[in-house]
C-alpha cells in the first residue's frame, strides 16, 4: 500500500488525484489533505477519504466546516508552516504537490528533508527554486516524479535510457484557445474567453498561462531541472489534439513519443503507482479513430511569453523566479480586470529585463527574488511603489 499526502487537494489536480486514489482502492491510503481557502470542499473530502491530518494555507479563513465534522475532524494545521508539517508526516510514502505558485516551495523542501518522494505538479516550485529543490532531492536520494502530462511523458520515454544518448526533448502544446487568433484580436480578449481551454480542464492560473503559452515556457524550465537538459536542447511544437504529450529525440535519430487521450488522471496514476503500471479502467486511446497527427511551430511573435521563458532560463540564477512571481501578479490582475490580456507580456518582459540575476543556490535568494518580482510587477501595473532587490 502507498500512503500519500495531497497538498492542494481541492484544486483540479488534487480532485483528480483523489479520484485516482479511489479507483486504486486498497493500493492507496490518503493520509493528509490541504487547501488554500476552500475549507468546505476540504471538509467534504475529509468525509469521503478520512485523512489523519489536514492543512489550511490561508490562516484568515475559518475552519468551522471541519469542526462541524465532530469526532471525524482530523488534526488541523494552519499556514505555510502547516503545509510543511503535513508534508513531513511520518509513515507517508509520497507527497503529491498540487499547489499553485511559490507557496509550494517550503513544503516541498520539508518533504525532501523528511525523505519523502514527491509527485510534483506545482510548476512554479521548480521554475523558481529548481536548483535548490533538485539539488536537495539528489543529496537525499528523493525521487521527483512529474505529474504534468508533458513531463510524465518524458519521464516514461527516457526510463532506462542513458542520459548521454538524448539529443533533445520536444514538449508539445495544444496552442491554447487563441492559436488561430490574430495579435490584434488577442489584445482585447476577456478573461472568460481566455479560460476556455480547447482540450484540458485546469485551474484559472494555469489556463491563462496556457493562453499566453507561458505555461509551455515554464515547462521548458521545469524540464531543464527535472531532466538535466540545457534549454538549447529543448524545443516546443504545437499538437492541437493533445494526444502526443511529448517526444524525446536520441542521438541515433530515433524519436520516442508517448500518446494517450488528454486526461490528467493517466499521468497522476502513473505517479501514484510508479514504477508499476496497473489497470483501473481509465480512458484508452483508440488508434483506429484518432485521425491524423500534425505538428507545427508555435507563432513566437503572437506568443512572446514563450521566448521570454527561454530568455529567463538562459539568464539563469533568480531570473526564472522573478518571471514566475511577476506572472502570478499579472495573471491575477488580468482576471480582476485591472489589465488587459495584451498587457501581460509587457509587464513580464519589463520585470525580467529590469532584474539583475543573483545566484539561486539558496532558498533565501529565491524568496527575495520572488518578493521583488511581485513588487516590481505591481509597480508597473500601478498598484505599489518599487523596492530594491537584495541578493
The answer to whether residues 164 and 265 belong to one domain is yes
| Residue 106: per-residue pLDDT | 94
Q: What is the mean pLDDT of residues 340-364?
A: 96
Q: Which of 111, 130, 147 is the last residue of a domain?
A: 147
Paired residues of 238 in beta bridges: 173, 296
List the beta strands (DSSP E) in the chain.
2-7, 28-35, 53-56, 75-78, 94-97, 117-120, 144-146, 166-173, 234-238, 244-250, 255-259
pLDDT bracket for residue 28 (50, 70, 90): very high
pLDDT cut 70: percent of the chain above it: 97
Three-class SS state of 172 = strand
pTM score above 0.85: yes
The answer to whether residues 6 and 142 belong to one domain is yes
DSSP state of 27: G
Q: Any idea what the Cα angle at residue 267 is, between residues 263 and 270, rounded to 5°?
A: 140
Question: Nearest Cα to 263, choosing from 171, 152, 179?
Answer: 152
**Is residue 358 pLDDT above 60, yes or no?**
yes
**282 domain-assigned:** no
The answer to whether residues 178 and 259 belong to one domain is yes
Mean pLDDT, the chain, rounded, equals 94
204-212 and 344-354 helices, crossing angle to 10°: 80
| Residue 138: per-residue pLDDT | 97
Q: Which of 111, 131, 147 is the last residue of a domain?
A: 147
User: How far apart, in whole angstroms, are the C-alpha atoms of residue 324 and residue 124?
Assistant: 6
CATH no. for residue 369? 1.10.1740.10
**168 domain-assigned:** yes
Q: Which of 245, 273, 301 is the last residue of a domain?
A: 273
CATH no. for residue 85? 3.40.50.720
Return the minimum-mean-pLDDT range out of 105-109, 169-173, 190-194.
Answer: 190-194
* Edge-to-edge strands, sheet with 244-250: 234-238, 166-173, 244-250, 255-259
Q: What is the mean pLDDT of residues 153-163?
A: 96
Q: What is the mean pLDDT of residues 356-381?
A: 95
**188 domain-assigned:** yes
The answer to whether residues 111 and 187 belong to one domain is no
**Is residue 165 pLDDT above 70, yes or no?**
yes
List, for residues 267-299, the tens digit of each pLDDT value: 999 999 999 999 999 999 999 988 899 999 999
**Ramachandran bin of 99, using left for φ above 0, alpha for ψ from -120 to 50, beta for the remaining angles:** beta
Backbone angles phi, psi at 123, to 5 degrees: -55, -50
The answer to whether residues 159 and 96 belong to one domain is no
**Ramachandran bin of 247, using left for φ above 0, alpha for ψ from -120 to 50, beta for the remaining angles:** beta
pLDDT bracket for residue 383 (50, 70, 90): low
User: How far apart, in whole angstroms, are the C-alpha atoms of residue 21 and residue 116?
Assistant: 18
| Residue 34: per-residue pLDDT | 98
List, for residues 184-230, the tens digit of each pLDDT value: 888 888 888 888 877 766 778 889 999 999 999 999 999 999 999 99
Backbone angles phi, psi at 259, to 5 degrees: -115, 140
**218 domain-assigned:** yes
Domain extent at residue 181:
152-273
**233 domain-assigned:** yes
The answer to whether residues 142 and 158 belong to one domain is no
Q: Which residues contact 71 (CB under 8 A, 6 or more apart)?
A: none
User: How far apart, in whole angstroms, are the C-alpha atoms of residue 359 and residue 321?
Assistant: 11
The answer to whether residues 139 and 189 belong to one domain is no
The answer to whether residues 110 and 169 belong to one domain is no
Instruction: Between 190 and 52, name the one with better pLDDT.
Output: 52
Backbone angles phi, psi at 234, to 5 degrees: -120, 125
**296 domain-assigned:** no
The answer to whether residues 22 and 139 belong to one domain is yes
**104 domain-assigned:** yes
Number of structural domains (the chain) is 3
The answer to whether residues 229 and 169 belong to one domain is yes
**Is residue 387 pLDDT above 90, yes or no?**
no
**173 domain-assigned:** yes
The answer to whether residues 100 and 209 belong to one domain is no
User: How far apart, in whole angstroms, are the C-alpha atoms of residue 391 and residue 360?
Assistant: 9
The answer to whether residues 200 and 236 belong to one domain is yes
pLDDT bracket for residue 390 (50, 70, 90): low
| Residue 384: per-residue pLDDT | 59
pLDDT bracket for residue 385 (50, 70, 90): low
| Residue 124: per-residue pLDDT | 85
Amino acid at each position: 500500500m502507498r500512503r500519500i499526502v495531497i497538498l492542494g487537494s481541492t484544486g483540479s489536480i488534487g480532485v483528480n488525484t483523489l479520484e485516482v486514489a479511489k479507483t486504486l482502492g486498497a493500493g492507496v491510503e490518503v493520509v493528509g489533505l490541504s487547501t488554500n481557502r476552500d475549507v468546505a470542499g476540504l471538509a467534504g473530502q475529509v468525509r469521503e477519504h478520512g485523512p489523519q491530518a489536514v492543512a489550511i494555507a490561508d490562516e484568515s479563513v475559518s475552519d468551522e466546516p471541519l469542526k462541524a465534522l465532530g469526532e471525524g475532524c482530523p488534526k488541523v494545521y494552519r499556514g505555510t508552516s502547516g503545509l510543511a508539517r503535513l508534508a513531513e508526516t511520518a509513515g507517508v510514502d509520497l507527497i503529491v504537490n498540487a499547489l499553485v505558485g511559490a507557496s509550494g516551495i517550503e513544503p516541498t523542501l520539508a518533504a525532501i528533508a523528511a525523505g519523502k518522494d514527491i509527485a510534483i505538479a506545482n510548476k512554479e516550485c521548480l521554475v523558481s527554486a529548481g536548483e535548490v529543490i533538485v539539488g536537495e532531492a539528489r543529496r537525499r536520494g528523493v525521487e521527483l516524479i512529474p505529474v504534468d502530462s508533458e513531463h510524465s511523458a518524458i519521464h516514461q520515454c527516457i526510463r532506462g535510457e542513458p542520459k548521454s544518448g538524448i539529443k533533445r526533448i520536444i514538449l508539445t502544446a495544444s496552442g491554447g484557445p487563441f492559436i488561430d487568433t490574430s495579435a490584434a484580436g488577442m489584445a482585447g480578449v476577456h478573461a472568460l474567453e481566455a479560460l476556455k481551454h480547447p482540450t484540458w480542464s485546469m485551474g484559472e492560473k494555469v489556463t491563462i498561462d496556457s493562453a499566453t503559452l507561458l505555461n509551455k515556457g515554464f515547462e521548458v524550465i521545469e524540464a531543464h531541472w527535472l531532466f538535466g537538459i540545457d534549454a538549447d536542447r529543448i524545443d516546443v511544437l504545437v499538437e492541437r489534439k493533445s494526444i502526443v504529450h511529448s517526444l524525446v529525440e536520441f542521438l541515433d535519430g530515433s524519436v520516442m513519443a508517448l500518446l494517450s487521450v488528454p486526461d490528467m488522471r493517466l499521468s497522476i496514476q502513473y505517479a501514484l503507482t510508479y514504477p508499476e503500471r496497473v489497470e483501473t479502467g481509465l480512458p484508452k486511446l483508440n488508434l483506429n479513430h484518432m485521425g491524423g497527427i500534425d505538428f507545427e511551430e508555435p507563432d513566437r511573435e503572437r506568443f512572446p511569453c514563450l521566448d521570454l521563458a527561454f530568455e529567463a532560463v538562459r539568464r539563469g540564477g533568480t531570473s526564472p523566479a522573478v518571471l514566475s512571481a511577476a506572472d502570478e501578479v499579472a495573471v491575477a490582475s488580468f482576471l480582476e480586470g485591472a489589465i488587459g490580456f495584451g498587457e501581460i507580456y509587457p509587464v513580464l518582459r519589463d520585470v525580467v529585463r529590469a532584474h539583475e540575476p543573483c545566484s539561486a543556490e539558496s532558498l533565501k535568494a529565491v524568496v527575495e527574488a520572488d518578493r521583488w518580482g511581485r513588487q516590481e510587477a505591481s509597480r508597473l501595473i500601478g498598484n505599489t511603489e518599487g523596492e530594491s532587490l537584495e541578493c
